[in-house]
Structure 1
Amino acid sequence: MSQSEYENDELVFFDEDDTPAENTKDREVWNLLVVDDDEEIHSVTRLALSDLEVNGRVLKFYHAYSGKEALEVMEKLGNKIAIILLDVVMETDDAGLVTARKMREELKLDEPRIILRTGQPGYAPEEKIIKEYDINDYKTKTELTRSKLVTTIIASIRSYQQILSIKQNREGLRKIIHSASNLLEEHSVKGYCEGVVTQISSLMGLDADGIVCARAGSMLDKDDNGVYVLGAAGEFATYINQKLENMHDTRIVHQVIQCLLRKEHIFDKDFTVLYMCSAGHEAAVFVRIGKDIDETHKQLLEVFLSSVSVGYENVNLFHELRLAAYRDWLTKLPNRTEFINLLDNIDEEKIATGKMVAALVDINHFADINDGLGQEVGNQLLIAVADLLKERLGDSVGKGRIGADVFGLVGFEEDINPKVLNDLFKEHFKAGEHSLLVNMTMGLAKLTDSEASGLDIIKYANIALNRAKRNAASNYEYYLGEMEEQTFWRLAMMRQLRTDFSERKLQLWYQPQVCLKSEKIIGMEALLRWPSKEGGFISPAVFVPLAEYSGLIVEIGMWVLEESCRRIKELQALKVDNMRIAVNISVPQFRDPHFVPHVMKIITNSKICPSQIELEITESVAMDEPNIVVESLKALKDFGVSIAIDDFGTGFSSMSYLQQLPLDRLKVDRAFVKDIGEGRSSFFAETIVTLGKKLGLDTIAEGIETREQVAYMQNLGCDEAQGFLYAKPMPFDELVAFISSYQPGQYLQ
């Protein structure tokens, strides 16, 4: 069968009508016994291998559905069975292993090759079972795709054929099997390759003196296509892990490369270069023999190489898996696990100097690069950053990629400090066709405690990193002990807030708002209150940021809106009409894709007029997510909801942007009101009221506490006011009593 016919790497399930015709009649065959309690496995195996031809022979299939049936077939055919495809789990969990043992020990069948298969990886045989009962290969059924099954069968048939051809040298055969079994214990590529040289030399009756080389392209930790010495013995041992070209003997270099290029053995009167390959993992074994090799020894070597090639594949895969466990696949830097190991093993004398520091470097807005330019560009950017760190920081600095866009560094402070790292990130990074200038944030932790674990150090640097992300003035923070206490406090507060909210302990208070012309109450602002265990209330300045950070603000915001709508209905029932309630909205609520429809649904279900709800946003909210905010507010404005902007004038808003907002009202911040009085004026308050008039917006002054402030704002033409002069925030029951007893102008006499 040609290679192209194996390009489909899956076992094909044919219909009964598609079964190939029997082709073993009047031809030499290889007898293959399929032992499995699943009829479908028999059919699939037969159909997948039906047209396979090896050395001029086709396969003849025998079938058994239990260990007992298999032993009966084995007893009848004996060593004429070339291969046994043996299921591990049949009538019992270890039926296949029991069958293998009886075959070898009781029936004394040494020649047939056994390939263990299982659909339940949890029943994997122990290594000693593989060794003692001469198992050729062990695979899960899902692992045995069509091409791998064919490859395994061909390799096993060759092994069987060669075993038969050298029956006269039974002692040598046992030595090969024993050698291959011992080599399977080696999980080190280096150790395995040294073992190959040693065993080949032993087979040939020579002192161990040779090398094993492999193409670097098959190794996970090599980035070039050079040829490296992976194992060696005798005088060549000093070249282990070096490039082959560094060897002093140019003839060896030439012959090894020729072997790898030609993919075949080279036999010479003075030396032999043996080609070994399994599943793409190839190697050339150079052995200085000094005599011609007869056919018997060549056959011995073929069988040996057939056996150890599978082992060579396994140790390569084990090596790659081990590297994958400790190395980032993209940047080739140590991953989080290995970086923590690096921190765990820092020399105590270095820590004692007090000059060691660990840092976490987080690329800002990396998700935007992935979303806007594509993941491939994002990956190329990460590689570019890793390459720059490797090139500019040198080997004295430990490096790792410990998160999607977070790099870890450890070394002396002269190499790792904000200035050095900020200077590095002033450069543009090449990512495909793009040249990107990126910003980053740093969290740094000085290493002063030799007892601190790698995980502790990562935690300290991460705490500092999170602090730095909240620091608008700088892109870095150094870890301080009190930061951890603050972090624990924040986490405890967030847990308590979530608990109290779920138990409906949060309260909604209301502060009346009045019309400066009529002095009548025209609305109120809903203000969230969180009772503390000690009595009193926790400041909104404390818990609102916690609620926003944890995402709980979205649920709380919906509850506030529902509660406000319910109170409007209660006021209407008390004949208090035309009152609006202002509800504050935060950035996380706008980011919620269901925010707008939820608001509309709550208002609709409450059966109140949408204009009785006023959504208040701060200037910072308006500027943080401008596109989302404008789009959402326009939809709600069209629905009938009023929109106000709070704290206006305290930030740095773009006037052109503000004109895009569908506003109804500007709030004059209390910071611009508090200085009014006793002959003092407020330029900012005057500017905001004038701006409101020009934009056709109402204005409301916050923090009104004196009659002078009322008179001043009235003279400016301000429309509304709220503050302690009129009323402090109060629970709903007190609000109802206040409204019923309120007389316009009573506080202005």
Structure 2
Amino acid sequence: MNPAEYDNDELIFLEEEEGQQEHHEDNDTWNVLIVDDDEEIHTVTRLALSDLVVNGRKLSFSHAYSGEEAIKVLSEHGSSIAIVLLDVVMETDDAGLQVAKRMREELNLHEPRIILRTGQPGYAPEENVIKEYDINDYKTKTELTRSKLLTTIIASLRSYQQILTINQSRVGLEKIIASAANLLEEHSIKGFCEGVVTQISSLIGLDAGGVVCARAGSVLDREDDAVYVLGAAGQFATYINKRLDSLHDDKIIREVNLCLQKRDHIYAEDFSVLYMNSSGYEAAVYVQLGSSINVVHRQLLEVFMTSISVGYENVNLFHQLRNAAFRDMLTKLPNRNEFINMLDEIEDSSADIEDLVVALVDVNHFSDINDGLGQDAGNLLLIAIAERMQNNLGDAVRMGRIGADVFGLIGSGDVVNPDTISALFTSPFKAGDHTLPVNVTMGFCRLMSECCNGLNILKQSNIALNRAKRSLTANYEYYAPEMEEKTTWRLGMIRQLRTDFAERKLQLWFQPQVDLVSESVVGMEALLRWPAPEGGFISPVVFVPLAEYSGLIIEIGAWVLEEACSKLKQLHDRGLDKLRVAVNISMPQFRDPQFIDLVKNALTESGIDPKCLELEITESVVMDEPQIVVDSLKALKAFGVSIAIDDFGTGFSSLSYLQKLPLDRLKVDRSFVNDVTSGKSAFIAETIVTLGNKLGLQTIAEGVEKREQASHMLRLGCDEAQGYLYAKPMPFDELNHFLDNYSPRA
């Protein structure tokens, strides 16, 4: 096309500016890319369109003189170009068509409008090319007069603006949909509110910034009633989750508060404040426009705000549900579930974790405060503890409440350590009308580069806490792998013990007891044996504490009683009706409300005389909970059962309680019997025997292995003995054989 071809439209040529007009990427102009290998076409086109204004915006031109050059410009600035005036024939016959194809397929530029021009009608593209590459218009240069060019440009700009608006709306809607699909994410309200601002900008066709604000009491986990920024876009993005009055713009603060007060939209020359409300969940959306909006846009925005209000309510409801699942409602701290998530985030992050420490802080004797002062005082104390930790440890430490009276901390070792945390509890806490001193126990776990998952880290911290609770010297403990190994071993042993007991693999052995004068068998002690998988037996010193720890001792103890009585009945039926059996009883059995009835039932069902059953207890059992033991033994003594104290003299029993117990027999511990032949004084053994005689009790010496021990104990006045000198513990079948063949020493 040359200048003469515009004569019919009375084109008034303007003076050319020197050089080419630069590309603009702002919203004051429409960016047009002219692609043609004829430089004169560039000049004429630019002059023909230089005074065109569409929707208040002039045209800005970019230039390319080949297909490859056009692709380069589009790669760098394609997202801001509205129209491409594209010559078909340039370096090749289809260079323009190749540009159109690469625009749509490679560069994914679907918004810019394409107007094809050619000076050679024979090179007109096929109809399918026009459709496939979304080409707006096709003209030969001879038919493209100024008026037709203007018409084509205006129509293409309108098409571009519509497509751009649709795509921008789609982006805004996708953000809202994405927010709704991820409502359980921490910033779901933030994402929704950002989408609102983006969508408003798309609807009115302006690049607007803005904020979405609401009162804290309406949607946030805050006690105050101040207005907060929930979401923002543009220049206001840094104010999210901050109070509205922190904005350095008095007009925004004033207008948002006015909107919430009036509960209505506000429209002004350069801004709008839109009101949103659904079921009491209200918000004000301040949009910075830069210019006033027309009536049509106002109506569109009002419909839009009404339609998304329900979504705003849903987001807030889901936010509250999420808080219920991941936040402690009392202290407003993350709960156990969220604390585990926080630990998982550490593992997933690429940050250096080797200086991080996890701590569990357990409030000692918290149940006493609840029981003595009431739950309200306990709740106020927990709130006060949480506030002091937050105020003193600050943002450098992340924390949560992971149990009724246990707090979790995550931070660097120079802050999360015993000294720093203990210092927080040196002064008492105010809980309502009460001023309460608080002591804590702490378990620490240093994070390693090969960090485990959150649940495992919490488990390791808890292992350290439990170890600290059992310590007599310190109120804290750091996790070490051997702690977990010991715990794992203990749990494995308990699991195996439970399995073997259920499969009746446990055995009851018996060790005979003899009269020291006649050396005839007068009874036997029932001893529990647990066969080891690899052969031999697991020591009672190992498995009895495990059975007591797990509570399995109640079931095992009941079986031992029943089995011992049953076996004794078999001996009585053989004519050995003078024999008795001794059974050891642990403290957990005494705590069992059914214990007394259990003993009585075992005797009744076996049909043996109650005096033939002797219950053995240790001094430590007596001193653990004396009154429970005394009351139970008195009830059983009244039923006819005999009572003995095992290992007497090794504990620290009070003689006052000793006098209260309905005892029949004292057992002298083997350690004192050994003193008889080790060159040491047998003073303690003599004292125990003398004490027994003074109290009118029988005495029996344990661990008698040598003849001189038996002789010495007899001289002291001891009545009975048991030990390897007479017989080792043996299964019941061997006991029968032993009794058949045993004869007292002449």
Q: Give the TM-score taking structure 2 as reference length.
A: 0.66
1:447 paired residue number? 447
1:206-256 deviation line (CA, Å, top 9, x unaligned): 652432211122345435432211123444444222111112233432443
**2:668/2:702 contact within 8 Å kept:** yes
1:529, CA displacement in angstroms? Answer: 0.8
2:535 paired residue number? 535
1:724 paired residue number? 724
Determine if the alignment matches structure 1 residue 609 to structure 2 residue 612.
no
1:558, CA displacement in angstroms? Answer: 1.0
1:141 paired residue number? none
1:712, CA displacement in angstroms? Answer: 4.5
1:61 paired residue number? none
Within a 5 Å distance, the mapping from 1:137-152 to structure 2 comes to none
**Quick one: which of 331, 339, 344 aligns to 1:341?**
344
1:661, CA displacement in angstroms? Answer: 4.3
1:190 paired residue number? 190
**Closer/same/farther in 2, CA of residues 598 and 241 from structure 1, 3 Å limit:** same
1:56 paired residue number? none
- After superposing the two structures, state which structure 1 stretch, 716-725 or 600-609, moved more: 716-725
Determine if the alignment matches structure 1 residue 277 to structure 2 residue 270.
no
1:68 paired residue number? none
1:559, CA displacement in angstroms? Answer: 0.9
- Structure 2 CA distance, aligned partners of 1:229 and 1:538? 67
**Closer/same/farther in 2, CA of residues 419 and 572 from structure 1, 3 Å limit:** farther
1:484, CA displacement in angstroms? Answer: 3.9
**Closer/same/farther in 2, CA of residues 299 and 451 from structure 1, 3 Å limit:** closer
- Structure 2 CA distance, aligned partners of 1:381 and 1:683? 56
Within a 5 Å distance, the mapping from 1:697-716 to structure 2 comes to 697-716=697-716
1:554, CA displacement in angstroms? Answer: 1.8
1:225 paired residue number? 225
- Structure 2 CA distance, aligned partners of 1:579 and 1:434? 63
1:208 paired residue number? 208
1:258, CA displacement in angstroms? Answer: 4.4
- Structure 2 CA distance, aligned partners of 1:269 and 1:340? 50
1:637, CA displacement in angstroms? Answer: 3.3
1:310, CA displacement in angstroms? Answer: 0.9
**1:215/1:225 contact within 8 Å kept:** yes
**Closer/same/farther in 2, CA of residues 347 and 547 from structure 1, 3 Å limit:** same
1:581, CA displacement in angstroms? Answer: 1.6
For the residue of structure 2 that corresponds to 1:186, the secondary structure is: helix
**2:581/2:614 contact within 8 Å kept:** yes
**1:281/1:313 contact within 8 Å kept:** yes
**2:175/2:192 contact within 8 Å kept:** no
**2:511/2:526 contact within 8 Å kept:** yes
- Structure 1 CA distance, aligned partners of 2:678 and 2:299? 111
1:288, CA displacement in angstroms? Answer: 5.6
User: What one-letter code is carried by the residue in structure 2 that aligns with 1:228?
Assistant: Y
- The CA RMSD measured in Å over matched residues stands at 3.9
- Structure 2 CA distance, aligned partners of 1:515 and 1:671? 20
1:139 paired residue number? none
- Structure 1 CA distance, aligned partners of 2:577 and 2:438? 55
Within a 5 Å distance, the mapping from 1:301-700 to structure 2 comes to 301-334=301-334, 335=336, 336-345=339-348, 349-351=352-354, 355-363=355-363, 378-422=378-422, 424=424, 428-430=428-430, 440-450=440-450, 452-469=452-469, 471=471, 474-516=474-516, 519-677=519-677, 680-692=680-692, 697-700=697-700
**Closer/same/farther in 2, CA of residues 554 and 395 from structure 1, 3 Å limit:** same
- Structure 1 CA distance, aligned partners of 2:178 and 2:648? 74
- Structure 1 CA distance, aligned partners of 2:208 and 2:454? 43
- Structure 1 CA distance, aligned partners of 2:372 and 2:270? 63
Q: Give the TM-score taking structure 1 as reference length.
A: 0.66
User: What one-letter code is carried by the residue in structure 2 that aligns with 1:505?
Assistant: K
For the residue of structure 1 that corresponds to 2:208, the secondary structure is: coil
**1:339/1:400 contact within 8 Å kept:** no
**1:348/1:450 contact within 8 Å kept:** no
- Structure 2 CA distance, aligned partners of 1:391 and 1:726? 72
**Closer/same/farther in 2, CA of residues 358 and 734 from structure 1, 3 Å limit:** same
- Structure 2 CA distance, aligned partners of 1:576 and 1:425? 67
1:132 paired residue number? none
User: What one-letter code is carried by the residue in structure 2 that aligns with 1:338?
Assistant: N
Within a 5 Å distance, the mapping from 1:85-104 to structure 2 comes to none
- Structure 2 CA distance, aligned partners of 1:288 and 1:420? 48
- Structure 1 CA distance, aligned partners of 2:731 and 2:588? 27
- Structure 2 CA distance, aligned partners of 1:420 and 1:692? 56
**1:342/1:398 contact within 8 Å kept:** no
- Structure 2 CA distance, aligned partners of 1:680 and 1:449? 57
2:52 paired residue number? none
**Closer/same/farther in 2, CA of residues 310 and 540 from structure 1, 3 Å limit:** same
1:133 paired residue number? none
- After superposing the two structures, state which structure 1 stretch, 248-257 or 469-478, moved more: 469-478
1:41-60 deviation line (CA, Å, top 9, x unaligned): xxxxxxxxxxxxxxxxxxxx
1:136-156 deviation line (CA, Å, top 9, x unaligned): xxxxxxxxxxxxxxxxxxxxx
User: What one-letter code is carried by the residue in structure 2 that aligns with 1:445?
Assistant: C
User: What one-letter code is carried by the residue in structure 2 that aligns with 1:530?
Assistant: W
1:307, CA displacement in angstroms? Answer: 1.7
1:566, CA displacement in angstroms? Answer: 0.1
* Structure 1 gap ranges (5+): 1-171
**2:340/2:455 contact within 8 Å kept:** no
**2:259/2:275 contact within 8 Å kept:** yes
1:305, CA displacement in angstroms? Answer: 2.9
Task: Choose 1 or 2 for highest CA Rg.
Answer: 2
User: What one-letter code is carried by the residue in structure 2 that aligns with 1:494?
Assistant: I
- Structure 2 CA distance, aligned partners of 1:579 and 1:254? 98
Residue identity over aligned pairs, in percent, reads: 63
- After superposing the two structures, state which structure 1 stretch, 458-467 or 584-593, moved more: 458-467
**1:326/1:338 contact within 8 Å kept:** no
For the residue of structure 1 that corresponds to 2:674, the secondary structure is: coil
1:676-710 deviation line (CA, Å, top 9, x unaligned): 24663244434444554565544433223334444
**2:347/2:451 contact within 8 Å kept:** no
**Closer/same/farther in 2, CA of residues 363 and 508 from structure 1, 3 Å limit:** farther
* Structure 2 gap ranges (5+): 1-164, 181-187
**1:678/1:708 contact within 8 Å kept:** no
- Structure 2 CA distance, aligned partners of 1:638 and 1:564? 21
User: What one-letter code is carried by the residue in structure 1 that aligns with 2:567?
Assistant: R
- Structure 1 CA distance, aligned partners of 2:723 and 2:244? 84
- After superposing the two structures, state which structure 1 stretch, 580-589 or 233-242, moved more: 233-242
For the residue of structure 1 that corresponds to 2:395, the secondary structure is: coil
- After superposing the two structures, state which structure 1 stretch, 643-652 or 286-295, moved more: 286-295
**1:327/1:338 contact within 8 Å kept:** no
2:733 paired residue number? 733
- After superposing the two structures, state which structure 1 stretch, 667-676 or 280-289, moved more: 280-289
1:312, CA displacement in angstroms? Answer: 0.8
**1:428/1:436 contact within 8 Å kept:** yes
**1:193/1:231 contact within 8 Å kept:** yes
User: What one-letter code is carried by the residue in structure 1 that aligns with 2:347?
Assistant: D
- Structure 2 CA distance, aligned partners of 1:373 and 1:694? 49
For the residue of structure 1 that corresponds to 2:667, the secondary structure is: strand
**1:183/1:308 contact within 8 Å kept:** no
**Closer/same/farther in 2, CA of residues 550 and 575 from structure 1, 3 Å limit:** same
**1:176/1:304 contact within 8 Å kept:** no
- Structure 2 CA distance, aligned partners of 1:401 and 1:678? 59
1:331-387 deviation line (CA, Å, top 9, x unaligned): 333334223224414655441xxx543334445565666666665555445444444
**Closer/same/farther in 2, CA of residues 598 and 303 from structure 1, 3 Å limit:** farther
For the residue of structure 2 that corresponds to 1:703, the secondary structure is: coil
User: What one-letter code is carried by the residue in structure 1 that aligns with 2:506?
Assistant: L
User: What one-letter code is carried by the residue in structure 1 that aligns with 2:525?
Assistant: E
Within a 5 Å distance, the mapping from 1:233-272 to structure 2 comes to 233-261=233-261, 263-264=263-264
For the residue of structure 1 that corresponds to 2:635, the secondary structure is: helix
- After superposing the two structures, state which structure 1 stretch, 428-437 or 733-742, moved more: 428-437
